[in-house]
Structure 1
Amino acid sequence: MLHRRTTLTLGLYALGAAALPGPAHTITSRTGPTRRGGPGDVGRIRETTAAFGRMDDLYGGGHARGAVAAYLADDVAPLLRGTTGRARPALFTAAAELAYLAGWMSADMMRIGPAQRYYLMAVRLADEAGDDLMRSMALRSLAVQAVELGHHRVGRDLADAAADGIRTGSPARTKAWIAGMCAEAIAAATHDQRRAHTLLRTAEAELEHADSRTDDAVTGNYRRESFSHQVGLTLTHLGDLSGAEEHFAASVDSRRPVERRTRVLIGARLALTQLNRQHPDAAARTVLDLRGDLSGVASTRVHQALSKVRTGWRNATADDRIGEADRLLATLAGTSGPRR
């Protein structure tokens, strides 16, 4: 299983649109200062990762992404090179969580190569820590990226590899998070409705029994509204746009104020679904409802989705509401007037 999963991850380099840096394990083999770390350093890294994660939720991957990369390279890497003994596994897991966040933020900015590099780094750091759960979480996000890029079968294989790493006793919330991604990947790769719906039911059942706190670790934010988003993505791949619209809308409506980037991203996906259902007026209402959040979010994924929305209604901007929504998006894009 280890070799299979490692091969899958290494093979993902073929998806990169940008030139990729060297092997991720070089973070522990570079020359430079080393420092011996302990439990206090583990706590500090996790607190810092959580703070950066909160900023990512509010403002998107374009905010502080460079600071996360610098913290990983300049502050965390010396500890990884210099620490031995009982503190070492926890330190490597904490570093994997930080690398995972760096990958997530890079993916949000559509920096495909760096995102893969950081996710792969998280996999290797988790291997070093003997943390199968963290490894699975990084593989899951590689699956997300592969599916978003249109590499559906690779995404399915990576999601399966993530599920392979789940052990008895793993948090139910994590099991739900990974099962939901498996459903989406199956739907994208094979359009197997029966299998996809079975996996969604599994995810929902696990989520119903989740007893971990929702602010725990990397998967803490997998809530009911997260599941609704996953259902919407899965149904989109299965061609059920009506069902997808319903679930995207439910996810947007129940998002917390701190989840600005996620709310805007899912709102953009909702608007695209409404356009695909030939409801440009509904898409315009969705965009206008996001007005208060749009300007503060730095996310290439969001801006690309909203650009597709503008393209989708370009022949309907004479409608007052659609014209207002288009002008709003034009202002955000740094242009003026309707897009022609």
Structure 2
Amino acid sequence: MLNRRTLLTAGAFTVAGLAPARNSPTSPERRGYTGDVQRLRGTTKMFADLDDQYGGGHARTAVAAYLTRDVAPLLRGTSGRARQDLLCAAAELTYLAAYMAMDAGAHDLATRYYISTIRLASEAGDVVLRATGLRSMAVQAAELGHHTEAFDLAEAAASSLGGRGPDRTRAWVRGMQAEAAAGVGGRWDALNLLRQAEAQLERADSLPEADWTGNYRRESFEHQTGLTLTQLGDHATAARHYAASMSARRPVERRTRALIGLRAAHAFLLTSAVDEAAAMVLSLGTDVRSISSARVRNQLRQLRADWQPYRSNAQIAAADRLVTSA
């Protein structure tokens, strides 16, 4: 993981960050126009929808190929006013590539994509996109157990915003600060930051769909509350927040529903609420095994290991059969 100083001083983007692999064919540079930006954003949305439904392991190589063969030549060939919009659109796609790589378990690659996101956003002067990249690196660090790095990255994301940006985005970053503070043992700081994030979210005047990044909803806050309370060891309350988040998710969010549902089940199990844990897994159906996500697989592996002492429970046995036969 990069240290905070490296991230805060990340300079202008260089196309080396999106260079194709050795011996891969390269495309000649070309100038980009408004239509190219619209096409790029449309393609990003299409890939984001696939990621939501099928996980980061699905279509990840297609995103990488599109970045190197279509986006990089545009960045090499575009200057002037058109470049800023193109940089922002490229940063959004690079951010998606990073998130998909992280979800697929390719963490070194994900980190490189996140760095490219931050540099693209920095050159474009887009503080919200820059904060988005930093915040998501904090998520990655937290999930890998690097709690000090997660804390530093979450603080860097907040510093990057500097009080700017929509309330919804600021709440999104503040919520990650809460989770990261809990990870380094800052119980009261974490709870206070959660209250601040909730207040910012409640006064947000933008629609959740207004921005593709920083699209913070109440169900997202419930999930982050669960993650924060898990770090603090309050598994019973965390389970209720996870369950609330999972039940409010839209049908297209199959990967997210599966991941949070498994986290809820694990939290229930840790409080000996065995039937609730099994019911949560059964409610997910076959999505748990059909989604291409290393994060989902890892969460499932941990859950199955911890419910072994309860295999005589009929509900646990049914849940186990479901996730192993799907």
TM-score tier by shorter-chain length is over 0.9
Aligned to 1:102: 97
Q: What amino acid is aligned across from residue 317 of structure 2 in structure 1?
A: G
Match of 2:157 in 1: 162
User: What residue in structure 2 maps to residue 141 of structure 1?
Assistant: 136
Which of 12, 16, 20 is residue 26 of structure 1 equivalent to? 16
Q: Deviation per CA, 1:246-292, whole angstroms, max 9, x where unpaired?
A: 10111011111111110100001011111111222221111001015
TM-score by length of 1: 0.89
CA distance in structure 2 between the aligned counterparts of 1:245 and 1:184, rounded to whole angstroms:
15
CA distance in 2, matches of 1:179, 1:66: 32
> Do 2:55 and 2:291's aligned partners in 1 also have CA atoms closer than 8 Å?
yes
Deviations 1:20-50 (A, max 9, x none): xxx9750477875101001111111111101
Per-residue Cα deviation, 1:34-75 (whole angstroms, up to 9, x for no partner):
010011111111111011101111111011111111111110
Counterpart mapping for 1:171-186 below 5 A = 171-186=166-181
Q: Which amino acid aligns with 1:194?
A: W
Partners of 1:142 and 1:10 in 2: CA distance: 15
3-state SS of paired residue (2:161): coil
Residue 167 of structure 1 deviates from its aligned partner by 3.8
How many residues get paired?
Answer: 318
**Deviation readout 1:105-135 (Å, 9 max, x if unpaired):** 0111111111101111101111121212111
Change (3 A) 1:64 1:32: closer
Cα 1:65–1:24, aligned 2, differ >3 Å: closer, same or farther? farther
In 2, Cα distance between equivalents of 1:288 and 1:82: 52
Residue 7 of structure 1 is matched in structure 2 by 6
Counterpart CA distance in 2 for 1:29 and 1:322 is 48
Match of 1:250 among 237, 244, 250: 244
Change (3 A) 1:24 1:61: farther
Match of 1:290 among 284, 299, 322: 284
Are residues 1:114 and 2:109 paired? yes
Report the identity percentage. 52
Letter in 1 for 2:71: V
8 Å CA contact retained: 1:177, 1:219: no
Go from structure 1 to structure 2 and tell me whether the alpha carbon gap of 1:56 and 1:102 turns closer, same or farther (over 3 Å shift). same
Q: What does residue 17 of structure 1 align with?
A: none
What SS class does the counterpart of residue 179 from structure 2 fall into? Answer: helix
Displacement of 1:220: 5.2
Counterpart position of 2:23: none
| 1:177 counterpart letter in structure 2 | W
Change (3 A) 1:278 1:168: closer
User: What residue is the counterpart of 1:48 in the other structure?
Assistant: 43
Between the aligned partners of 2:163 and 2:123, the Cα distance in structure 1 is 21
Answer whether contact 1:59 1:261 (CA < 8 A) is retained: yes
CA distance in 1 between partners of 2:59 and 2:19 (Å): 26
CA contact (8 A) 1:9 1:158 kept: no
Distance 2:9 2:258 in 1: 32
Q: Which amino acid aligns with 1:137?
A: T
Instruction: Measure the CA separation in 2 of the matches of 1:166 and 1:100.
Output: 17
Do 2:15 and 2:75's aligned partners in 1 also have CA atoms closer than 8 Å? no
C-alpha distance in structure 1 between counterparts of 2:254 and 2:14, whole Å = 31
Alignment of 1:1-340 (within 5 A): 5-8=4-7, 25-27=15-17, 32-189=27-184, 191-219=185-213, 221-332=215-326
TM-score (norm 2): 0.92
Preserved contact between residue 147 and residue 188 of structure 1 (Cα < 8 Å) = yes
In structure 1, the gaps of 5 or more residues are 12-22, 333-340
Shift of the 8–154 alpha-carbon distance from structure 1 to 2, 3 Å rule, reads farther
Give the direction of change, closer, same or farther, for the CA distance of 1:188–1:10 in structure 2 (3 Å limit). farther
- Offset at 1:9? 7.1
Q: Which runs of 5+ in 2 are unaligned?
A: 21-25
Q: 1:20: which partner in 2?
A: none
Distance of 1:126 and 1:306 partners within structure 2? 35
RMSD: 2.1
| Partner Cα distance (2:325, 2:193) in 1 | 41
One-letter amino acid of the structure 2 residue matched with residue 84 of structure 1: S
